[in-house]
Structure 1
Amino acid sequence: MAEDRRVRKSKTAIKNAFIQLLKEKNIERITIQEISDLADVNRGTFYLNYVDKYALLEEMENEQIAEIKSFVDIRNINLSNRTGEAFIEEFSNNVIKKVITHISNNLEFYQVILNLERKSQIEEQIADIVRSNLTYLIEDKDDVFGIPINYYLSYVTGSMISMIKYWVSDDQRVSIDEFVQYIATIASNGPLSIMRRMVDQKNK
């Protein structure tokens, strides 16, 4: 038990050190010695836990994804006798808000990981979660109202990831509730529908 605590403490120190170094330089330029020195562990301790810095990054990303998967599952929402508006409200509160709250609770990690010079695997994993939930809702259809399914999923996942990346990096970041509302409004109305309403208001 004491050994397990020491291992957890060492791994936490290594991960924290890695995040701090990623704030300062590209991952390719970070050395194991730098990570070990900042974490106050020896290189041997690092290699007891990780093959290299990329394995460390992968474990950190997988931990975050595992947590998101634990509470993001559209199958937990009862869709029977539900209006579209009621579904959007529940999905916003019980799925989107939980994801954004999780990201907020791990903000430093996401600020660094989502702004790496190379694309982080976590982006694709989050996109996979969104795709799997939407695929369940769409079932076995090849299209969504005439839009090929892959085009639809690409648009939805891409825009979601883009908004999250902007939010975590925004120095004037809005609250979680405001951000969730923004996502829900854009997702439920669509960018062109919102633009149409703006044009209609302008021409009144």
Structure 2
Amino acid sequence: MTKVDRRILKTQEALKTAVIKLMAEKNFDDITIQDLSDQANVSRGTIYLHYMDKYDLLDKLIENHINELQERCEAAADLDFVTGSLIWTEYFESNYDFFSMMLASKGAPFFRNRFLEFLIEEFKDEVDNTKGKNEGLNKDLVVRFVASSYVGVVEWWFTNKRPITHQVLAEQLGALLDRICE
């Protein structure tokens, strides 16, 4: 893998931080390239060296977080649901600004849908509808129910400004997943 110049990484990080900060102030559709340029303290041309437009910037930001969640999911593959949920909730906590902007403010509905689709893929292998409490139920329906519930609870957590700790959130999500998925 080739090493990326630190200046490029610094510029990209400044732009990602700028878009999140600006989304806290206004609707994403109202953010201009000039707003991003001013907030990140880079030229408009610099933005276009890294991204096609503001939508490309947002898409790359979302993909970075989804990819990180995917890596954490793979690392937790052999763990129980509580421990696996703790890995995710720690990530949510450490990236609070991003996730609260994407979920609590309704600033980017695309993210919610992308997160839901990601969770549907992740939970497909966790649901068994051939025996036990899910026997006879439509697998796609159960998977969608679990993924939608997970997104809804995480949204609730951000919308209500973390009414419980991320550890308690993980414990309770893990316990619920144990009841539904195993």
Comparing 180-189 with 167-176, greater Cα deviation is found at 180-189
Unaligned runs of 5+ in 1: 79-89, 191-204
Larger radius of gyration: 1
Instruction: Quickly say closer, same or farther: Cα 1:14–1:175, change in 2 above 3 A.
Output: same
User: Which residue does the alignment assign to 1:165?
Assistant: 155
Instruction: Give the deviation of 1:75 after TM superposition.
Output: 8.4
Instruction: Quickly say closer, same or farther: Cα 1:101–1:158, change in 2 above 3 A.
Output: same
Selected match of 1:109 from 98, 108, 112 = 98
CA–CA distance in 1 between the matches of 2:162 and 2:78? 33
Instruction: Quickly say closer, same or farther: Cα 1:101–1:50, change in 2 above 3 A.
Output: same
Residues 37-67 of structure 1 deviation map (CA, whole Å, 9 limit, x = unaligned): 1111110000100111110000001111111
Instruction: Give the deviation of 1:175 after TM superposition.
Output: 1.0
Matched, 1:148 2:129: no
Moved over 3 A (4+): 73-76, 137-141, 185-190
Instruction: Give the deviation of 1:24 after TM superposition.
Output: 1.0
CA–CA distance in 1 between the matches of 2:34 and 2:121? 40
User: Which residue does the alignment assign to 2:56?
Assistant: 55
Comparing 32-41 with 108-117, greater Cα deviation is found at 108-117
* 8 Å CA contact retained: 2:37, 2:47: yes
Instruction: Give the deviation of 1:145 after TM superposition.
Output: 1.4
In structure 2, what residue type is equivalent to 1:33?
Q
Taking the TM superposition and a 5 Å limit, the aligned residue runs for 1:37-76 are 37-73=38-74, 76=77
Comparing 41-50 with 128-137, greater Cα deviation is found at 128-137
In structure 2, what residue type is equivalent to 1:180?
A
| Number of matched pairs | 176
In structure 2, what residue type is equivalent to 1:76?
A
Matched, 1:124 2:110: no
Which structure exhibits the higher relative contact order, with contacts defined as CA atoms closer than 8 Å and separated by 6 or more residues? 2
Comparing 64-73 with 123-132, greater Cα deviation is found at 123-132
CA–CA distance in 2 between the matches of 1:152 and 1:176? 25
Instruction: Give the deviation of 1:7 after TM superposition.
Output: 1.2
Residues 146-172 of structure 1 deviation map (CA, whole Å, 9 limit, x = unaligned): 211121111111110010011122235
**Corresponding residue SS for 1:73:** helix
Residues 10-52 of structure 1 deviation map (CA, whole Å, 9 limit, x = unaligned): 1111111111110011111110001101111110000100111
TM-score (norm 2): 0.84
Instruction: Give the deviation of 1:128 after TM superposition.
Output: 3.3
User: Which residue does the alignment assign to 1:6?
Assistant: 7
In structure 2, what residue type is equivalent to 1:173?
P
Q: Between the two proteins, what is the percent identity of the paired residues? A: 24
**Corresponding residue SS for 2:124:** helix
User: Which residue does the alignment assign to 2:36?
Assistant: 35
TM-score (norm 1): 0.76
